[in-house]
Amino acid sequence: MGKSLISSEKINKGLRVPHVWTIILFCLVLGGIMTYLVPAGVYERVTVDGRQLIDPDSFHYVAQTPVAPFDWFVSIIDGLTGSMAIMSMIWFTIASTDVYTESGTLHKMVGWIMKVCRGNYLLIMGALMAFFAVRGAMGAFELHIPFVPITIALALACGCDVMTGLAIAMVPTFVAFAYGPINVYTVAVAQGIAGVPVYSAMGFRVAVWLVLMAATFWYVLRYASRVRKDHSISPTGFENPSAAKIDIEAIQQEKMTGRQRLLTVMLIATIGLQMAGPMLWGWGFAQIGALWLISGIAAGLVAGFTNERICEIMGNSCAGIFSGVICIGLARSVSVVLTNGNILDTIVYGLSIPLQQIPAAVSAVGMLFIQALLNFFIPSGSGQATVAMPIMAPLADVVGLTRQTAVMAFQLGDGLTNMIMPTTGALFVYIGVAKISYSTYFKWILPLFLTLVCIAVVSLLIATSIHLGPF
């Protein structure tokens, strides 16, 4: 969902993408019609270690139970109420992060990083990329757009080009978001729907994330080093109007106040608890949302904001992401209709027939590319998870994959394609700020994108071979 906050408008010449709500509503109507046409069927559910799984050999057809058109829209209300815990977690996480941002802490952190690196341009770029990568792993996506003029100015000051400046902020954000171990928009939502513990398989997930980030850092920093020595290889040039307003020296000289130092510690502690809570104390969406709500209120008080100011920041933040968050409830209504019409299991059964004839590892890779294709039509991470995982999770049971592997295939297929997908609105905002055309950017990023897809495929093969769990 993080990437859907910018509405789907005319984002490329000749391409007009409907609003994501319209796309999901179309899926809802299509699902309702299918309940009249697709034979109803069910799998028997069995309880294993307290978990409900389907018995892959128990599918059988039942009497047709079509869903009336009026009930298609009733399902939207059911979807919204059933998704409230997930939606609240996302609202409070982003709203509280905005309180930290409004305090000036994050911008001062960027200046501190640049100062500590003492003029070593590769070290400065690498440190800033790490900063954006960590926040991207949490679910930051559009939030780094305001930093693009700063990173472009920095790149130009270091003798690099505009593409380098864009890449410093944008590329680690997109890649980290794609497989962020604690991404509230994708992994938390998908794992919750799939019925696996939130933030489970953390060790394996972090390892894959680090490999993806290592490839990303190498690609960007290698390019920066090469273009600094040979200006002729730059596709963008070395001038950019948006960079002229940024005073790099002033940013480096700004010092954190005592309040901002404390806020930095509080933010790091909150992120740590967000990771530890689900693993150590079994936290779910409600507990994570409550953690960030407490953290945001405390941050506002430490920053010296009045209660009116804290409420204003959080209210504006929630309003800004309302469209994207509502996608979760809207998308859930599709599975409500398919379930009430008893055709969800029929769809799973139909998909499982060809997949059962091929190795499980190939099925996992196939899921990745299905999710990549779906990302074109539903440019919303959490919305796509809510549509796809009710099908992919039981399908994994049938074809012999773990549900954790299905979640992994969803997240990689959805996330990596954001780097090139023309329906990703935020992509065009980033390159628009840098005054770079989509075709120029596409040619530059394509080698890295293909490399990351290869890493994703290998990761899925490993996950399949080790039966990545807990289930």
In the three-class reduction of DSSP (H, G, I as helix; E, B as strand; rest coil), residue 433 is classed as: helix
Identify the pLDDT of residue 449.
95
In a domain, 471, yes or no: no
pLDDT at 446: 94
Does residue 470 fall inside a structural domain?
A: no
What's the pLDDT at 13?
A: 47
pLDDT number for residue 208: 93
If you ran DSSP here, which 8-state letter would residue 201 be given? S
Domain span at residue 381?
Answer: 2-465
Tell me which long-range contacts 206-210 makes (C-beta under 8 A, separation of at least 24). Answer: 206/181, 208/179, 208/408, 208/455, 208/459, 209/137, 209/176, 209/179, 209/180, 209/181
Q: How many CB atoms lie within 10 A of CB 436?
A: 19
CA–CA dist 194, 402 (Å, integer): 10
Nearest to 176 by CA among 166, 187, 192: 187
Which residue stretches of the chain have pLDDT < 50? Answer: 1, 4-15, 244
Residue 182 lies in a domain: yes
Specify if 119 maps to a domain: yes
pLDDT digits (tens, 9 = 90+) for 162-200: 999 899 989 999 999 888 888 877 888 888 878 888 888
Burial of 11 (0-12, 13-18, 19+ CB in 10 A): buried
Could you give the CA distance from residue 63 to residue 349 in angstroms, rounded to a whole number?
16
Amino acid, single-letter form, for residue 303: A
Report the number of distinct structural domains present in the chain: 1
Neighbours of 294 (CB within 10 A): 14
| Contact indicator for 407, 32 with CB cutoff of 8 Å | no
Report if residue 302 sits inside a domain: yes
The whole-number pLDDT of residue 185 equals: 74
Measured distance CA(416)–CA(176) in Å, rounded = 9
Q: Is residue 26 part of a domain?
A: yes
Please report whether residue 309 resides in a domain. Answer: yes
Query: What pLDDT does 219 receive?
Result: 96
Rounded Cα distance, 164 and 132, in Å: 14
Q: Which one-letter DSSP state was computed for residue 15?
A: B
Name beta bridge partners: 241: none
